[in-house]
Amino acid sequence: MKIFLIGFMGSGKTHWGKIWADKHELPFFDLDEIIEKKEHRSVLDIFEKNGEDYFRFQESVALRTMDTPDNCIIACGGGAACYADNIDWMNEHGLTVYLHASPNVLLDNIMKEKEKRPLVKHVNEAELLFFIQQKLEDRKPYYEKAKIRMRVEDLSEESFKKIV
């Protein structure tokens, strides 16, 4: 079974995905990384030079065409579930897990790596909290389509057992 980890930036999709994959000897993939390899440049560069629409197109193509084994964990970028029917496609092709976090938890985590993230690179902390609250509301209907929802505060190495 392919496990798709979805949720907002800073919810720990890559962090937990790697830990769970290591512990259970499963291959791990990061959708952003797949796009970066294909494009030979960073997500930041793609956004800056070609814009978000271009990135979203590449993201939905990468999701549908990536060469991944039947059993694996795939961390998806924060917006991946919210465009081009991607969440429906994920639900048809694997198990979707939404890592749910409050705006304040997300703010703390995003602040640590803000420079790498094109959508928030240029905003200050107060603007960022507002941005998170707004975007989270917009994205909620998509995230909520996930088959499993987990609170990030409760996650541990053992959580993966609950998922499977």
Residue ranges binding ligand S3P (CB under 6 A): 9, 13-14, 32, 43, 77-79, 117-119
In angstroms, the CA 20 to CA 154 distance is: 14
Pick between residue 77 and residue 94 the one whose CB is nearest to ligand S3P: 77
First CA to last CA distance, the chain? 9
Minimum gap (Å) between residue 78 Cβ and ligand S3P:
3
Q: Which is nearer to ligand S3P, 61 or 161 (CB)?
A: 61
Specify the residue, 144 or 161, whose C-beta has the smaller distance to ligand S3P: 144
Q: What minimum distance in Å lies between the beta carbon of 80 and ligand S3P?
A: 7
Type of residue found at 163: I
Rg of the chain on CA atoms, in Å: 15
Nearest distance from C-beta of residue 130 to ligand S3P, angstroms: 15
75 pairs with which residues across the strands?
5, 30
Asked if 109 contacts 11 with a C-beta cutoff of 8 angstroms, the reply is yes
Q: How far is the CB of 134 from ligand S3P (least distance, A)?
A: 12
Of the pair 37, 161, the CB lying nearest ligand S3P is at 37
CA–CA gap between residue 98 and residue 4 (Å, rounded): 8
For residues 82 and 142, the answer to whether their CB atoms sit within 8 Å is yes
Closest-by-Cβ residue to ligand S3P is: 77
**Residues facing 6 on adjacent strands:** 98
